[in-house]
Amino acid sequence: SQELEQSPQSLIVQEGKNLTINCTSSKTLYGLYWYKQKYGEGLIFLMMLQKGGEEKSHEKITAKLDEKKQQSSLHITASQPSHAGIYLCGAHLYDMRFGAGTRLTVKP
Amino acid sequence: GAVVSQHPSRVICKSGTSVKIECRSLDFQATTMFWYRQFPKQSLMLMATSNEGSKATYEQGVEKDKFLINHASLTLSTLTVTSAHPEDSSFYICSARASVPYNEQFFGPGTRLTVL
């Protein structure tokens, strides 16, 4: 089965700082999803990457998928308190599986 | 994007009772639906996969007699937690996959279950 490792598990940054979250797969990824969540709430879809070397951006968040399609990174520029939450990477062959998540805290 | 709803959003029940959670795809037909569970400070873990009109496939370690899944139509799947215990308290999220485009999976807003 697809196994996804996320790092770091938790991250505390000062407002305005940049940060990166990584997601590594044990197998080639054919679709890598990034979600944001607060526990007890639903998932907020951020981005989906499919092609090796693909990069997508939305506002201050950029996600990349490496050429080998086994690693993805999520980069937040000039973080804000509104970026706080749990970030999950997900991938699927038949069903969606998730990494362990990264808990982001942004200190004002 | 496609919309998936869940009902109820929150439920509190006594130990030993059964609780039913509904998952509906509102604007598309879902041939496959998935149920996930999330404990505090943990990620989503897949519990089971259900295809319309057939029995659900459960992940290892998930008791099929305790978590009954019914996918009776292309827009509705239900998860019934039977004889609930406090350790079943969790956040349950369903997901539905549309026939077209294939592999697009949409998530419901989740149901928070608290068993007293």
A42 interface with B at CB cutoff 8 Å: yes
Mean pLDDT within A74-94? 92
What value does the mean pLDDT take over residues B67-86? 94
**pLDDT one-digit tens code per residue, A26-80:** 888 888 999 999 877 889 999 999 899 999 999 999 999 998 889 999 999 999 9
Among the partner-chain residues B45, B91, B108, the one whose CB lies closest to the CB of A39 is: B91
Q: Residue B108 has what pLDDT?
A: 94
Cβ-based neighbours of A50, under 8 Å, separated by 6 or more: A30, A31, A32, A65
- The tokens of A68 are what? 């080998």
Question: Is the peptide bond prior to B86 cis by the omega test (within 30 degrees of 0)?
Answer: no
User: At residue A1, does pLDDT exceed 60?
Assistant: no
B34: number of CA atoms within 13 Å, CB side?
A: 21
Tell me whether residues B1 and A88 touch, CB distance under 8 A. Answer: no
Give the whole-number percent of chain B exceeding pLDDT 70. 95
Q: For residue B108, which residues of chain A lie inside 8 Å, CB to CB?
A: 42
**Shortest CA distance from A5: residue in chain B:** B43
Tell me phi and psi for residue A38, to 5 degrees: -115, 140
B-chain residue closest to A94, CA distance: B103
Which of A103-107, B3-7, B25-29, B61-65 is predicted least confidently?
B25-29
